[in-house]
A and B are shown apart, each in its own frame.
Chain A
Amino acid sequence: MNVPTLFGLCAAALVGFGLYGVITNPQPLRKILAFNLIGNGVFLLFGAIARRGAAAGFGGDPVPQGLLITGIVVAFSATALAVALLLRLFQATGSATLADDQPAKAEADDLHA
C-alpha cells in the first residue's frame, strides 16, 4: 500500500470516529473536538488526493494544497466561534451540556451553589 492510500484510509477512520463522537457525546466541547476530527479527516483525504496528483516537479498538486491552508484557517475560526458560544452558554446557564434530562443540569447548578 502506498503512502497516499494509507493516509486516505486513515482519513476515513478519522471521519468515522469523529462522527461517532459528535452523535454520542452530550458535552458540546467534546462535540466540537469530534467535529474537528471529521474536518481533519476530510482535509487529510484531500491531502492524499493532492499527493497523488504529484507532477511537473511538485511533490503534490499545489491547488488542493492551497485550498487546504484556507480550509484549516476557516475551520479554526469556526471552532473559535463555537467555543465562544459554549462559554457564553455556560455563563448564562451554569451548565455546559446539551443533554435534555434535567438532573444533569441540576447537579451542575448544585456544584455552583
Chain B
Amino acid sequence: MTVASALALVLALLLVSIAMWTVVTRRTFAAVEGFVAYGLLLSIAWVALSAIDVALTEAAIGGGLTGVLLIGAAARLRTAETALSAERAGAPLRWLAAAVSAAVAGAIAFGVLLLPDPAPTLAPAVSEHLPSIGLGNAVTAVLLAYRGIDTLLESIVVVFALIGVWSLAPDHLWGGYPGPRQYADPNSILAYLARVLPPIGIIVGLYIFWVGADLPGGKFQGATILAAMWLLVMMAGLTDAPPINRTWLRILLVAGPLLFIAIGFAGAVTAGAVLAYPEGYAKLLIKVIEAALMPTLTLTLALLVAGAPERTAPP
C-alpha cells in the first residue's frame, strides 16, 4: 500500500466516523461543529480525487458558509435545546431505519464495486475542443461553455432561494434588515480579525476569480470568499447588511443572470445556437459573464446566510 492510498484510507475512515458522530450525538451544537470539521476533511478528499476546483468550492461553501449558517442557527435554537435533546425516536423505528439505511448504503456500495471498466469519460472530448475556447481550465470551460445551461439555471436558482428566504419575513418587516443586528466587543479578537482579514481576503477572492480561466478557481469560489469577508465584517458589528428594499441591491442581484441570458440569446444570432459563443470571442464573453456573476453571487451567498428580514426598514 502506497503512502497516498494509506492517507486516503485514513481520510475515508475519518469522514465516515465524523459523519456517524454528527448523526448520533445528542448535542446539536456539537453535531454542527463536527459537520464543519467534516466539510474541511471532505475538501481534502476532493484533492485526493484530483478535483482541485471542487475542493476549493467545498472548502469555501461546504466547510465555510454552510458552517456559519448552521452554527448561527444552532446558537439561536439553543433555548429550545434542553427540551429537544430528550427527544428520540423509539427503538423499533430506529432498528427499521438502520435496516433501510444499511440496505441503501449496501446497494450503492455494490454499484461502486460493479462500475464498468474502462470507465466512460468525456475528458478526451473536452480536451479536443478546449483550444477553440481559449481557456486553460477545463472545469471552467465545462461550466461556461459545454454545460452553460446548468450554470445559467444555477445562477437563477440561488437568487430564487434568496427570494424564498426573504419571503419568510412577516408583513411588517418586509423590506427591512436581514437577521439580528450583530454586536461584538470592539477589542475582541473577532473585531480585530474583521479589520485585518478582509483586505487579504478580497485580494485572494479576486485572484481566485481571475485565475479561474486557466487554473483551478473561478467565480463561485472567488464570490464565496468575498461573501465570507463581508459576513465577517457584519458579524463583528462593524457594518450592517443592507435593507432588502434597496434598489441598487435588487439590480445587482439580477444583473448577473440577466447578462448571462442576454449573451446566451445573442449567441443564437451570432453563433447559431443559444449559449454558443462566436468564434474567437469565447474567452472574452466567458470572462464578461463571470465578472457580471461575481457581484450577484457574492451578495446572494452572503445574504442567504444573513437570513430573512427581522428588523424594520429605514424610512
Chain A residues whose C-beta falls within 8 Å of the C-beta of B82 in the assembled complex: 107, 111
Contact with B along A34-55 (1 / 0, CB 8 A): 1011001100110111111111
- 8 Å CB interface, B280-315 against A: 300-301, 304-305, 307-308
Beta-carbon nearest neighbor of B107 in chain A: A12
Interface contact tally, CB-CB below 8 A: 301
B45 contacts partner chain A, Cβ-Cβ < 8 Å: yes
Contact A96 B80 (CB under 8 A): yes
Interface of A is mostly: helix
Contact B49 A7 (CB under 8 A): yes
Given A61-B123, A104-B87, the answer on whether A111 and B79 have CB atoms closer than 8 Å is yes
Contact B168 A84 (CB under 8 A): yes
B74 contacts partner chain A, Cβ-Cβ < 8 Å: yes
> Which one, B20-28, B187-195, B200-208, B259-267, is touching chain A?
B20-28
Chain B residues whose C-beta falls within 8 Å of the C-beta of A65 in the assembled complex: 51, 53-54, 139, 142
Complex-state Cα separation, A104 to B89, whole angstroms: 13
Contact with B along A42-75 (1 / 0, CB 8 A): 0011011111111111111111011111101110
Contact A69 B50 (CB under 8 A): no
Complex-state Cα separation, A8 to B65, whole angstroms: 25
Contact A96 B112 (CB under 8 A): no
Complex-state Cα separation, A32 to B58, whole angstroms: 17
Among A5, A59, A77, A96, the residue within 8 A (CB) of B113 is A5
- 8 Å CB interface, B21-59 against A: 22-23, 28, 31-32, 35, 42, 45-46, 48-51, 53-54, 57-58
- 8 Å CB interface, A11-32 against B: 11-21, 23-27, 29-30, 32
B226 contacts partner chain A, Cβ-Cβ < 8 Å: no
Given contacts A84-B164, A97-B80, 16 further A-B pairs with CB under 8 A are A3-B4, A9-B109, A21-B22, A26-B89, A37-B22, A41-B108, A58-B126, A60-B51, A63-B146, A67-B150, A81-B165, A88-B308, A94-B80, A108-B83, A111-B79, A112-B79
